[in-house]
Structure 1
C-alpha cells in the first residue's frame, strides 16, 4: 500500500488511529485494539516513529504500516518526549519511594535508545514541569536543569548522570532553550526578583562556558517564552507578567525582545498598538517573523530578522498566525473566544488574500507538511461537545471530516520538507471526501441566515415593546422637528408642557392594576393655582381681541411654519437635496458603465432607479 506523505494521528480515550490524508483518507491497518485509556501519544520529530502509552507500558510503532517496533515494560508511564532524530524516547513516571527501605525516591525518568532497544539513562525528576532533557540537533549532547545550574552530558557516554561533561552556573535560572542548527547554543532566562531586572542570555556550548555571546536585561518579566528561528541565528523572547502595573489590562503585560546569536543586535520590538501580544511565530526561512498584538480588533504585523517592520494587515479579531512549511502562505485566525475565522495570505504576492473560511470552536490548527492542507480540530477537555477533525484545502474548501464522541489530541505526521516540491501556486481544488460532502449538506452556512435578517440601529427592549413606541421619531432630525412643532402648538417655550415634573420628583412604581391615591392639594397651592388660571385666561382674551383688530376679515389664518434644525425651511427642500445626491451617484455609475468598468449587481439596480428618482423630484417641483 502506498502510504500518503501527509499522514495524521488522533487519540481518543481508548483509541489511537493513523489516517493517510489526501487522496485516500483511509485508516492505517495493523494497530491493535486497546483496552485502557491512552494518556500520551506522539510522533518523533522526523516522523519515523509513533509512540503511545498504556498502564502496562509504552508501544513504539512504524507509522508506515502500523507494525510494532518496540514494547517497553514500564509501569504507569505518564509523559513522553522524543529526541530530534527520534533515536531516544524519554519516559516520565510518577515518582515513588524506592523499595530498598531508604526512604529515597526511585529514578522515574527513562531514556530509551530506540535503535539499540535498551534503556540508556535513568535519573530522578520529581517535578513533571521541565522534566524532559534537551538534545542538540545532532543528538550528541543533552542538557538538564538542576536548581541553579544547567548540566551537559555526552549522550554516548552517560550511563548515569553523575558526571557532567560541562556545567553552566546561573543564579535563579528559571528556564532554558536549546537552539537548532549545526552549531547549537543555549538561551537562558532569569526572572525579575527583588528589584533586580530580568535577563535573557545566549551561551555557546563548550567544556568551559564563561561569558554569554549575547545578553539583554529588562524589567516586567516574571515569565519568558524563548523561540529560536529555524537556523538558530536569532531569538525571540516574549516576556510577561501576571499583573499590569498600569492597571489597564486584565491579561497583565507582555513585551517582545529580539536577540542575535553573535551579539550584534538586541532590541525591544516596538509595537504601535496597546494591549497583549497574542501570538508570535518565525517564518521557516528564518528571515522574518509575525506578531499578533493589541486589544481587539488586533493588529497582525511582520518584521524582518533585525526587527524592522515589513507589512501590517488591517486590524481584525485574530489571535493566531502560522507560516506554511514552504513560507509561501500565511494563516491568520481567531480561535478561543473568537469566532474562528481563518484567513490565508500569499506571502510571495505582497500578502494578497487567497481565501477565508470559518472553523468555529477550533482548539488545534496546523499546516500539513506539504503546505497544501490545514488541519482544524475540536478536542477534549478544551470542549466536551462537537469533537471532530476537519481538513481544509488551502483555498478554503473542506475536503475531509471525521466526528468523535471524544478526541484528546490530533497531529500531522512530521515529514522532511525536501520530500515536497516548492509551491508555485495552488492546484485545482481536490475532490472532497464523502464525509465532507455529507457535512456540508447537513450544516448549511449560518452566515447566509444572518445576512438575510434585516439590520438596523439598536433599540432597547422598552423602545420596541409595542407598536406605538416603534412609531416614535428615531432620527435626530425627526426628534427636533417633533419638538419644534410641539413648541409652536404650545405657543413657544413660555411655559412648561402639561405633566412636566422637575428633576428629582418621580412617581413611585405601583403594582399592576393598583390605582394611585389622589394627591391632596394644600390651601396655599389651591390659591396660587386659581390665580395662575385667572391670569392666563385674561391674557388669552386680550391676545384674541388684538389679533382680531389687526387681521383683515378677508385674510385666512395660516398655520405657523415649523422651524427645522440645520436651517432648512421645509421638509420638501431636505428631501430634494437627498434625491439630488442619489441622482449624482447614479450619473457617476453610468459613466463607469460607459467606460466598460465592472459594476456590482447592487450598482446596476441603482442605475435602474433613475426614472423613479426624477419622478419624485418632479412631484416636489424641482426642474433642471
Structure 2
C-alpha cells in the first residue's frame, strides 16, 4: 500500500518480494521465495499499512493453520489460523494496524496486532462477514478523540425464518451487549450496537466506508430476485452513520432515497448498480457519495453524506462503474465488463463534463492537423476500443488507466492511458508496448500507490490542482456542430489507424451501436448535469420538481392539496352512485321489454303478482300492519289487471 514493494506469487517458488525503490535494471528479479513454504498459496494481500501479509492455501493434515500472517519486512511467520473457506476477509486490521479482528463461528475475536494477545470479543450469532475501514482521515479543523475508537459492521444471515441483520459497532464501548473487551486482563461488558437493520431479502452485504470512517454504505443483495424482475437478483442500499445529528451518542441507519429519474422495473423496483464514496476526507463539509441506479440506461447521481438525499444528477447512460479521483474532484462514469466501455469525465466542482483537448489528424477533405478543445458537444462520451476489465485513477488524479486483461478477456490485451479530461495519450508516448501483451499475456495493470507520510498514519492525498489550461494561441475552442464534426473526424481517424494496424475494423458496427445507444438514451440530456432541489417529489422538468430554481408561484399548500383530493373523491363517489342507479334502471327496463315480447310468459308473471296482492289484502283485512313494499305492490293492482286484460289470455 505504501508503494515501496510489490509481492508476486511464483508457483515454482512461492511469494517473491520486489523492491520498487531499486533503480530500473539495477537488480535482477528475485527468484527465491521471500515467504518460505508458500508455493501452494492461492490468496495473498497486505495489511492496510503494509506491515503484514496474510496468505491462504488449502488446508491439509500437515498444515492445519492454513491462514497465516507474515511480516512484510522480515518474511517471518507471525501467527496462524484455521480457515476452510477460500477467503482472506475473516482476518482484518484496523486502519492504523493496532488491532486485528478474526471471525470464527458466532464470534469475532480481537487481538493486539503486535503480540496477538486477546483484547476482547464480539458476540454475533450466525455472523457470516464483517468489515473494518482500511483508512481514516480527518479534516484539519477536527480534533481527534483522545481514546482510540474503531467502527466496524457485522452481517448475520437469516436462518430458520429469522431476518438477516446488519449491525454497526464501535470498539471498545458499543460492540453489543453480549460482547466484551479486556482491560488489564479483566473482561469489561460493552454497550448496544450503534445502529442495526434487519431485512429478509439479503444474502450478502458489500460495505463501503467513508474516508473519515464515520459512515458506511451497505449494499444488501440476493442472488435470485424472488419477484422475477431481474436476472441479477435484488439489491437495497443503506447509509449507516456513527453519530446521529439528533442524538450524537447513538448512530442511525437510512435507506438511501434514489432519484425520481431512475428507471424502475414493471413492479416499481429500482436496482442498485454501483455506489462509491468521494475518497478525500479533507474536503470541506460532509463527504458525499455517488450511486448508479435503475435499469439500463442507469442513472448516476451524487448524494448527501448524512441525509442520503440526491444532490446532483450525472445523467443516464449504460454505465455500471463510478471511479472518483483521490482528491475527489474528477469523476468517471464507465460502462465496463459486459457493456461497451463508454466513459464520461466529470468535474465535480463545476458540475460539468470536462472539455477535451485533442489533436485532430488531417482529414479526407484536405483539412490540416489542428489542435482543438472540444466543448459543449452533443455527446462527450469517450469510447474504449477494447472491453475494459481494469480501471484506476492515478494517485495524483491527473491520469486514468483502463486495461484489458486475462483471463477475463483472452484477446487484445493491453493498457490505455487517458488524461483527466478524457483525451487519450498516444501509444507511441507510453513507456510500455501493448504488442507484448497480445493476445492474452496481461494479467493486471495498476498504478503504484502514493507513499505514506512519515508523521501520521493517514493516507497521503495529492493537492487538487487546477485544470491544466490549453494554450489559447495553439488550441481552438469548438462548440455545438463544430465540436460534433471534430468528434466524428477523430473517430474516423481511430478507425483508420486500427485498420492500418492489421485489426479488423469495426467502425460501421460501432457507428450503428452508437446510434442505437443515443436513441435509447434520448432522455439522458434532460437529467445530465443538473442540481437536485431539496425536498422535491418528482422528476426533472415536472411541476413537482424545479431543479436549480425557486418553487412555482402558483404552487398549492398541503392543506389545499388535501382539500382538492377530498373534493375529487366525493365527486367520484357521487358519479359512481349515479351510474349504479342508471344501470339498475336500464336492467329493469330490459326485463320488462323481454317479458312483453312473450305474452304467455308475461301473463303468467302478472297472475303470480296478483296472487301475492290478494294475500296482502287478506293480511290487511286480518288487521296486520303492512310495510312500504307491500303498500307499493297494492298500488300496482289496477295497472296489472288492465295489462292482463289487454293480453287477452
TM over 0.5: yes
Task: Choose the corresponding residue for 1:426, options 442, 450, 468.
Answer: 468
Question: Which residue of structure 1 lines up, in the alignment, with residue 493 of structure 2?
Answer: none
TM-score (norm 2): 0.57
Deviation at 1:167, TM superposition (A): 0.8
Question: Which residue of structure 1 lines up, in the alignment, with residue 399 of structure 2?
Answer: 373
Question: Which residue of structure 1 lines up, in the alignment, with residue 171 of structure 2?
Answer: 205
Task: Choose the corresponding residue for 2:416, options 390, 400, 424.
Answer: 390
Deviation at 1:168, TM superposition (A): 0.7
Deviation at 1:107, TM superposition (A): 1.9
Question: Which residue of structure 2 lines up, in the alignment, with residue 310 of structure 1?
Answer: 311
Alignment of 1:250-265 (within 5 A): 250-262=231-243, 263-265=250-252
Question: Which residue of structure 2 lines up, in the alignment, with residue 278 of structure 1?
Answer: 273
- Distance (whole Å) between structure 2 residues aligned to residue 331 and residue 290 of structure 1: 11
Task: Choose the corresponding residue for 2:70, options 112, 126, 141.
Answer: 112
More off after superposition, 213-222 vs 166-175? 213-222
- Distance (whole Å) between structure 2 residues aligned to residue 257 and residue 454 of structure 1: 35
Alignment of 1:395-406 (within 5 A): 395-399=421-425, 400=430, 402-403=434-435, 404-405=437-438, 406=441
Question: Which residue of structure 2 lines up, in the alignment, with residue 134 of structure 1?
Answer: 92
8 Å Cα contact 1:202-1:215 kept in structure 2: yes
Task: Choose the corresponding residue for 2:389, options 336, 339, 363.
Answer: 363
After the TM superposition, list the runs of 4 or more consecutive aligned residues in structure 1 that deviate by more than 4 angstroms: 66-70, 416-419, 437-441, 443-456
8 Å Cα contact 2:218-2:238 kept in structure 1: yes
Q: Name the count of aligned residue pairs.
A: 398
Question: Which residue of structure 1 lines up, in the alignment, with residue 35 of structure 2?
Answer: 72
- Distance (whole Å) between structure 2 residues aligned to residue 285 and residue 332 of structure 1: 18
8 Å Cα contact 1:54-1:77 kept in structure 2: no
Secondary structure at the residue paired with 2:166?
strand
The structure-2 alpha-carbon separation of the partners of 1:344 and 1:167, relative to structure 1 and needing over 3 Å to count, comes to same
Question: Which residue of structure 1 lines up, in the alignment, with residue 7 of structure 2?
Answer: 51
More off after superposition, 111-120 vs 286-295? 111-120
Deviation at 1:384, TM superposition (A): 0.9
Task: Choose the corresponding residue for 1:192, options 158, 163, 167.
Answer: 158
Instruction: Return 5+ residue gaps in structure 1 as ranges.
Output: 1-44, 99-104, 430-436, 457-624
Alignment of 1:216-227 (within 5 A): 216-227=197-208
TM-score (norm 1): 0.59
8 Å Cα contact 2:131-2:154 kept in structure 1: yes
8 Å Cα contact 2:100-2:112 kept in structure 1: yes
8 Å Cα contact 1:125-1:131 kept in structure 2: no
8 Å Cα contact 1:320-1:335 kept in structure 2: yes
RMSD of the alignment, in Å?
3.1
> Does structure 1 residue 267 correspond to structure 2 residue 254?
yes
8 Å Cα contact 1:394-1:426 kept in structure 2: no
The structure-2 alpha-carbon separation of the partners of 1:439 and 1:328, relative to structure 1 and needing over 3 Å to count, comes to farther
Task: Choose the corresponding residue for 2:123, options 156, 163, 169.
Answer: 169
Deviation at 1:353, TM superposition (A): 4.1
8 Å Cα contact 1:136-1:184 kept in structure 2: yes
Secondary structure at the residue paired with 1:314?
strand
User: Could you say which structure has the greater relative contact order, defined with CA pairs below 8 angstroms and 6 or more residues apart?
Assistant: 2
- Distance (whole Å) between structure 1 residues aligned to residue 17 and residue 499 of structure 2: 37
Q: Deviations over 1:569-599 (max 9, x none)?
A: xxxxxxxxxxxxxxxxxxxxxxxxxxxxxxx
- Distance (whole Å) between structure 1 residues aligned to residue 96 and residue 434 of structure 2: 38
Deviation at 1:419, TM superposition (A): 6.6
Deviation at 1:202, TM superposition (A): 1.3
- Distance (whole Å) between structure 2 residues aligned to residue 243 and residue 110 of structure 1: 35
The structure-2 alpha-carbon separation of the partners of 1:393 and 1:445, relative to structure 1 and needing over 3 Å to count, comes to farther
Secondary structure at the residue paired with 1:156?
coil
- Distance (whole Å) between structure 1 residues aligned to residue 47 and residue 465 of structure 2: 29
8 Å Cα contact 1:46-1:84 kept in structure 2: no
8 Å Cα contact 1:373-1:392 kept in structure 2: yes
- Distance (whole Å) between structure 2 residues aligned to residue 450 and residue 220 of structure 1: 39
- Distance (whole Å) between structure 1 residues aligned to residue 35 and residue 81 of structure 2: 17
Q: Deviations over 1:249-282 (max 9, x none)?
A: 2221111000101244311012233242111100
Q: Deviations over 1:355-396 (max 9, x none)?
A: 531113101111111111111111111111111111111222
Question: Which residue of structure 1 lines up, in the alignment, with residue 642 of structure 2?
Answer: none
